[in-house]
Structures are given as C-alpha cells and as structure tokens.
Structure 1
Amino acid sequence: FTRRDPSHRNLPPGPKPFPIVGNIFQIGQNPHKSLAKLSKTYGPLMSLKLGSIYTIVVSSPEIAKEILQKHDQNFSGRTIPAAMQAHDHHKISMAKEHLFTNPCLEAGQTLRREKLDQLCEYLRRNAGRAVNIGEAAFVTTLNLMSVALFSTELTTFGSKAATEEFRQIIVGLQNTAGVSNFSDYFPLLQPLDPQGIKRKAQIYFGKMLAVIDDLMNQRLEESRTTNKIKKTKKTDLMETLLDLHKEEISNEYHFTTELIKHFLLDLFVAGFETTASTVEWAMTELLLNPDILLKVKQEVKNVAKDNGKTLNESEIIQLPYLQAVIKETFRYHPPGPLLFPRKSEHDAQVSGYLIPKGTQVLVNVWAMGRDPAIWSDPESFRPERFLSDKNNTTATNFKGQHFELIPFGAGRRICPGIPLANRMLHIMVATLIHNFDWKLVEEEGQDHTTELLGLALHKSPPLMAIPIIN
C-alpha cells in the first residue's frame, strides 16, 4: 500500500502514503490550507493517495493552464462527492449560448432591483443597530437567484418562517458538504453510506427539488394558459430551458423536464453560496480597510449622482475600483478554494510527469491567491493590484482566461453562471456602500479571517455591522 505502482514511477512528488488510508489524515478540516502547506515542500504539482483515490493537487497558474486549457478535454471528467450525488447529479453539455445571455439578464434587471430595494428598506428599519451582514446577504442572494431563475421570490425580510426553512436547508447542505466523507475516499463504501452523509443530503436536496418541482408545474400550467389567451411569457432561466426542451435543440442536449429541474438546482445552490459568501467577505474587507471603503463609496457616488440612490447594472463598467475590490476578494477569499474535482479520462503527461487515467485533480486556487511568487504582498487586501496606471481595471479578469485568478474554474467545465454572478456581486456591494455608512461591530479578540468550509468558503462567525443612513 505504501509503495508506488512500478508502472507509474514518473508520478508527481508527494508525501508518502500510510497503509490503506493514504494521506487522508494530512488533509484535516481545512484541506486548502493543508495542501498549500504541503505544496511548499513537494511543489506546485503534487500527488497524494486519499484512501483508494489517486489525486494530484495543482498550485500554480502555469500547471493549471496546462491541465484546464491544453489538456482540457482529457481532464473534463468529474469526481462527484457522494453528498452531491444525492440529487441524481447529471453531467450535461449545456448550450451556453442560450443561457445567461445579455437579453435574458437584462429582462430580469427590474426584479433584481426590487430585491435590492427591499434590502435597503430592511437596513433603514434597522439603522443604528447591529445587523448580521451574512443574514442580509443570505436573504437578498436567495431572492436575487430565485428571480433570475424563476421570476419569483422565495422569502422576504419579514418572513421569518420561510427564511428559516431555507436557512436550515442551506446550512444542512453546507454541513454535509463540509464533513470529511470516507465514502469519497473508498468508493466501495458508497452504497453503504456508513456516515449517513448521502442520506442527509438527500433530505435537503429533496426539499429544494420539491420547491423547484412546484414552480415548474406552475410554469407548465401557465404555458398552457398562455397558448390559449396569449399572455406575456416570462424571460427567466427556467423559461429559457423549457423553450429548449420544446425545440429541436432538445434532441441534441436531451433537455428533459427532470434534467432541467436538477440543472436549476445545481445553479441555484452553487450560485447562491458563491454570491452570498463573496458579498460577506467583500464587506468584511471594506470595513477592515476604511481607506478602501471610502474610495469605493466616492466612485459609486460619482456614477450614481444623476439617479439618486439607484445604481443600474449597466453602470458597473464605470466602476473600475469596485471591480478591483471584487477581484481582490476572489483572490483572497475564493468561494471554492479547490474548485470542483476533475478526473483524468486517459493517461496524460503534465509538466514532465505521468498523470494516470482516473486520477482526481484538485486545483488549489486558494494557494495560488496567497503565493508571493504570483502576487506582491499577498497577505494584504490591495485592490490597486488590479488597476492600471490610468486607474482603469487591468486585463486580468476572473472569467477563465487568466489562470492566476480562476475562482469559477476554466475551460469547458467553467461555471456557466459567471455573467449572472458578476452582475449580482457588483450591484449588491455597490448598493450597500452607496446607501449607508457602516460601523464594524468589534468583539475583543475576534479574528475576522476565520474560515468555514462547506459548499463555499464562509466567514465564521458572520460579519456584524451597524448601518447608518447617510
């Protein structure tokens, strides 16, 4: 068990595995940090044995580019954690040109604006009192995602019962995803589910699927009514997918209603967690760095001066410093620190090493974001690193072309929801900064950098701050 397969002598370097369990106990509760520390010893392409799963860990932009771009097709396979298989996860090749298009996103802007107005109203009612920014981001992101996908809100700031129900679902999913699952390391154990993680996840995913199922049934009934009385169709993502289901393109992509429901669930859970956690981290860094906060506030004020308190999504392009803040947040606090695991479909040569067929691939974007060989002063939150001399945003973006900053991945497995996340993140942070002054609630000895890894990398404990009407 401890010797390497003689047919694979040219494997990447890595720590010696223990019998049976391999290197599992060297990973710990914060695998992104443990793996970053190990990579300093064994290099940016490192091999591990996690139970029976042979794994390589990538910690440099150059090797990430080689795998995610040069060998993209070979490494397009997925290793799906058992908890994520609980809702019959489907691997589908989406027709991205039909999803998250500008017309589709523009059509939902009014509804998203309403959700941000509700956020502002909630904060005005609580002005002068400590507010849980994580909670506010939770409710707002929940509704921003739901109006984008379904043209309806799932909760409100005044609906404690509905909010708590969804919070229990999301927290439950976060807890199951954050637990080390031995079934992931020993696939033969998956049918037994010895820790009960998959069974718990099935309950939470089942509740979310029931909500989506009800919404889809209502939409299909509305569609039949629309055909009869010619009502105006909705323009959300559910409608787009249902249109694809009806058209000839469905023959190519096999958009069954069941597949659509699971795809919407994937988008909802992944998009929700990514956006909510990033907003909270961005606000945390802004409140910890008042000089940066002041610069963002002044920039947003200058752009929004002609339309009062309202900022339009189309104006984001005029906010280079805010864009730099979001990029720096992704660098310093990536929502998915190891991205989603990939799998090698065939043997491959990467940086002179053999990567055997079936190898699990983890890309440690958290380690790359903290690497002094890539970033100057990486432990400081400095948005200026993403600004050019003319105070405009640099060419570096987070859309998969610049491998030093790939919070959403790259290549054919890149997250399809980047256009929506980009809009929601910028407009939500801009709204919070533009409409209120803020005072950080400090507790003695509190560490604002403590992370909690679940479906995304969250701040723990949540950010508490006092909104002040400016």
Structure 2
Amino acid sequence: MEAWVLLAAAFLLSLFIVLRNSGNNKSRARLPPGPPWVPLFGNLLWLRNSAADVEPLLLRLFARYGPIVTLRIGSRLAIFVSDRRLAHAALVGPGGVALSDRPRAAASALLGVTDNIITRADYGATWRLLRRNLVSETLHPSRVRLFAPARAWVRKVLLDKLREEGKEEGGNNNVMEAFQYSMFCLLVLMCFGERLDEPAVRAIEDAERAWLLYISRQMTVFFFLPSVTRHLFRGRIDTARALQKRQRDLFLPLINKRRQIKKSGQVVATTSDGDTTFQHSYVDTLLDVTLPDEKVTGTTRHLTDDEIVALCSEFLNAGTDTTSTGLQWIMAELVKNPAVQAKLRAEIDAASDTTNDNNEVTEEAIPRMPYLKAVILEGLRKHPPGHFVLPHRAAQDMDVGGYRIPKGATVNFMVAEMGRDAEEWARPMAFEPDRFLEGGDGVGVDVTGTKGIRMMPFGVGRRICAGLNIAMLHLEYFVANMVREFEWTEAPGHEVSFEEKREFTTVMKHPLRPRLVPRT
C-alpha cells in the first residue's frame, strides 16, 4: 500500500479509540462482526492486505467471525456472506428487491462512465428495459439459432489454434490463449455482426483487456479518501481516460457500419461460409432502444454513442473471460481424470452424427448427452469462474441473519464457498460428474437458486446472469468438440495444478499446458 496510507492511518489512529467508544454502540452492535477500523480510512488490515485480492483475507475472517462479515473499505461499508441459506433469504426471499441495486464504481464519477448498462444500473425501469432487450432480442433461443454459423466458424478457429499449439514439443502450449481468442471472436461477431480478421479482433481484445485490468487493479485506490486520492493519483485517471478513448475509437466504426446498414434498409442475407457480415447483431438492437429523456419530461431518446460503447464492452467482457475460464478448468479436470474423459468421449461418439462432413458435434446432438451436462455442472460447481457475484447495494435498511444491513451498504456473496460446502456436497473437492446423474447428491440441482441455493455460478435472484443459457450452450458445444477432436493428456513437466489466481475471473495460477493427441 502506498506511503500516504501509512501517514493517514497514523494521523487517524488517535481518533479511533475515542470514536469507537463514543459512537452509537447500540446501532453498531447489530452490524455483522468484523475487524477494527478507523474512520475515513477503514479497517486497519488494509495496511497489510490489498482490497484488490480480498478472498484469502475473507476466508480467515469467516473462520474467526462466522458466515457474515463486515469490512470497511475507505468510507464504504462492505458486507460478505458465505452461507447459502442466508444468501437465499437475502437474494430470493421477499426482501430480495431491496438488495437488487448496484454500488457506484469507485472510478465512475471520476471518469464520467455511464451507469446505463445492465450490470451497473440500479434495479428499475432503465435496467429492466436494457435487460429485456438483451434477453429477447439477442439471447432468446430463436436469436441464438441465428448465430449457429458463428459458433461453427469459431469451432474451426479454436481447433486450428489447438492443432497449432499441439505442435509444440512436450506439450509446452498454453491453451487458455486459444480459448480466450476464440470466445472473443464469437462475442465480437455476435456484438457487431461482423466476422473480423485476426488483427482486428486482437486490437479489440487488447483494448478491452487493458481497460478491464487497469480499472480492477489500479483504480481501487479511489475507494480511500477519494477527495484526496483524486489529486494524488491524477495520472491514473488520465491513463484510464486514454484507455477509454482507445476503446471508443475501435468500437465506433463498427457501430456506425450497422447504423448505416439499418438506415439504408439493406437486407443482409443469411450468412454462409463466405460471408463476413451477419444478419443480426447486438448493436442492431441497441440502435432501436429508447430511454426516458431526463431533460424533457414525457419524451424518450436513443442511446448515446458512449452508452452503446459501454453496453458493447459489457457484452464482450461478460461472455469472454467467464466462458474461457470455465473451459480451462473443465479441460484441466478432464486431463487429470482420464476415466471421466473416456466416459464423456464414449457418450459423444454414441450420441453424435458420425457421418457429417466436418466431424462436428452438432448443437442438435447436445441434448442427448446427459453426462456432458454433468461434466459442465461439476466444473462450474468446483471451479466457478467468478468467486464472487457482482456486488449488490442495499436500497434500504434490511435484516440478514439477524444482523442489520444499513441502506447504502455493499453486500457480496461467496460463490465458491457455497459450491464447495462439505455440509452440502459429498467430497466437495473431488471432480465427480456422476453426482449430477441418477442417485448422486447433485441430482435436480437448480443453478438459478429459485427453491434453494446449492451452487450459484451465475448468481441468483433478480440480478441473475442474463446469459446463463447461452453460457451453458457454449461450454457444452466447445467441450464436446474438443474432446471429440483430441485426447487430452498430461504433459511431462507441465502437470496440472489446481492452484488459483485472481484476475478478472479466478484462473489457474499455472495455465493448462496439456499434450493434445488428434483422434481423427
């Protein structure tokens, strides 16, 4: 932590004892327990721990204080919940609407970033309109089918990348890079309706990753005394704005191309292998969206370019890192568990059409593969890409587990802890897909958490991930095709390690580097 924190802590420490004893002990006693804190600065533990990597700290705090813990990050009150029953009561129960807002990001006000996106908008009319547009116009099954040629194309891209990686002697290849690039190709195509060449996709990917990593790692300092840190760390704000401009400069030509197609009335034919422009895109739907105009009562307005850019960025980020991270963990488990891989391969061969020209596991065959779905669910249970849901904000004072959650407090939930709960799952750290088949302890599990939470890789309640169904389709489709194409084995010197590392998602600390043996 920067030197200014030590100085600020030393200055404020003298106030701590007085304020702690003279404050309203009655109201504070009902807050969930937590470590000592200093006004304005927050918990003293931030002198030794980073707010950007809070999970190991929280696991120690849960062991000490119980399943619900209070932390103070600067002036913000943050409450973390690890118990699945408390999570269900808070998010799905009658009071769930009170916990459906989002906290404002530390950098939003500093950078002028719009909150009119699905993941950041408060629970209300704007959020419902944007989410309904995404679900009905892009993620509805009829729309998802329009992108089947895109998935078939990306399957070829992915397998070609893996073949190229497989040429590396001794398995010295990082398949995560192939996963990320391929999933990004797919999301770019779905977003902008354009099949771009690799340099163009790489440029967008680099811009998105640079923006995302900078915001998540370098802007957390503004949680602490923002009126002061905005001056001390002005350079970080300038860098973030430059990254914003780079993103905008790449997106706007693609957005304007769809706008021109729409304006001219041009009809885009159903895409064949030779076409690069697709019939439908997420941007097309955004050009039709109208919001209430805050400046003129009773009127509406179209989305601004900045709002469309932000929504496109959200679309790309939400579906790329989560899916590619899920693929890496699942394939690592298949490498480490060859019997599971063999059983899955047998099901794929039995259920697939072996006569199709492309040797492809088609989307139509996937519903005939219950073990494939079990493999995906077990991967998401043991290795959820996000160990936290996106944070919630209390819209009013509320009660969770007998503790008071004050209005404005940020509340988050420990996804990985719930999926690995030894009281709920037999051998929780073992990879056993059969638990989701008849007779297993995972039979009938509801990942939406409507009746009860046993695992929640997509969140639960009113802010559950809108892309749940398409995410499952992508995982099933690409895992099936990779297992059919290659035998995945451990490479000497690159043994699979399940150590974790927090990036935007929780990834493998030592990336998967398998030996790929072509089957056909």
TM-score, normalised with respect to structure 2: 0.80
Q: Which has the higher contact order (CA 8 A, sep 6+)?
A: 1
Matched, 1:270 2:318: yes
Match of 1:234 in 2: 279
Report the secondary structure of 2:385's partner residue.
Answer: coil
**1:256 CA drift (Å):** 4.5
Match of 1:64 in 2: 87
**1:43 CA drift (Å):** 1.4
Match of 2:377 in 1: 327
**1:357 CA drift (Å):** 0.9
Q: How does 1:66-465 map to 2 (within 5 A)?
A: 66-70=89-93, 71-82=95-106, 86=111, 87-90=113-116, 91=121, 92-93=126-127, 94=130, 95=132, 96-129=135-168, 130=171, 131-156=173-198, 159=199, 163=202, 166-167=205-206, 169-170=208-209, 173-174=212-213, 176-178=215-217, 181-189=220-228, 191-192=230-231, 194=233, 196-225=235-264, 227=265, 230-232=267-269, 234-245=279-290, 255-308=303-356, 309-389=359-439, 394-401=443-450, 402-443=452-493, 448-465=497-514
The residue type paired with residue 42 of structure 2 is V
For 1:451 and 1:334, how far apart are their aligned partners in 2? 11
- Correspondent of 2:46 among 10, 24, 34: 24
For 1:463 and 1:332, how far apart are their aligned partners in 2? 17
Report the secondary structure of 1:73's partner residue.
Answer: helix
**1:461 CA drift (Å):** 2.8
Q: Work out which of the two has the higher radius of gyration on C-alpha atoms and give 1 or 2.
A: 2
- 2:286–2:308 Cα contact (<8 Å) kept: yes
- 1:56–1:360 Cα contact (<8 Å) kept: yes
Q: 1:463–1:78: structure 2 CA closer, same or farther, 3 Å change rule?
A: same
**1:14 CA drift (Å):** 2.3
Q: 1:361–1:398: structure 2 CA closer, same or farther, 3 Å change rule?
A: same
**1:115 CA drift (Å):** 1.1
Q: How many residues align?
A: 462
- 1:176–1:200 Cα contact (<8 Å) kept: no
Report the secondary structure of 1:461's partner residue.
Answer: coil
In structure 1, runs of 5+ residues without a counterpart are none
The residue type paired with residue 54 of structure 2 is P
For 1:89 and 1:114, how far apart are their aligned partners in 2? 34
For 1:313 and 1:398, how far apart are their aligned partners in 2? 21
**1:97 CA drift (Å):** 3.4
Report the secondary structure of 2:99's partner residue.
Answer: coil
For 1:185 and 1:252, how far apart are their aligned partners in 2? 38
**1:367 CA drift (Å):** 1.8
- 1:183–1:193 Cα contact (<8 Å) kept: no
Q: 1:24–1:253: structure 2 CA closer, same or farther, 3 Å change rule?
A: farther
Q: 1:51–1:146: structure 2 CA closer, same or farther, 3 Å change rule?
A: same
The residue type paired with residue 38 of structure 1 is L
The residue type paired with residue 349 of structure 2 is K
The residue type paired with residue 80 of structure 2 is V
| Cα deviation digits, residues 415-462 of structure 1 (max 9, x gap) | 222222222121111111111112223437x66222221221122232
- 1:112–1:144 Cα contact (<8 Å) kept: yes
| Cα deviation digits, residues 90-124 of structure 1 (max 9, x gap) | 22412243441011100011111111012223333
TM-score, normalised with respect to structure 1: 0.88
- 1:142–1:272 Cα contact (<8 Å) kept: yes
- Larger deviation: 426-435 or 409-418? 409-418
For 1:36 and 1:357, how far apart are their aligned partners in 2? 25
Match of 2:8 in 1: none
Report the secondary structure of 2:77's partner residue.
Answer: strand
For 1:257 and 1:203, how far apart are their aligned partners in 2? 17
The residue type paired with residue 21 of structure 1 is G
Identity of aligned residues (%): 26
Q: 1:321–1:377: structure 2 CA closer, same or farther, 3 Å change rule?
A: same
For 1:59 and 1:405, how far apart are their aligned partners in 2? 12
The residue type paired with residue 357 of structure 1 is K
For 2:460 and 2:230, how far apart are their aligned partners in 1? 32
Q: CA RMSD in A?
A: 3.1
For 1:426 and 1:350, how far apart are their aligned partners in 2? 36
**1:286 CA drift (Å):** 1.2
Matched, 1:14 2:34: yes
- 1:82–1:190 Cα contact (<8 Å) kept: no
For 2:432 and 2:34, how far apart are their aligned partners in 1? 33
**1:60 CA drift (Å):** 1.2
- 2:162–2:175 Cα contact (<8 Å) kept: no
**1:127 CA drift (Å):** 4.1
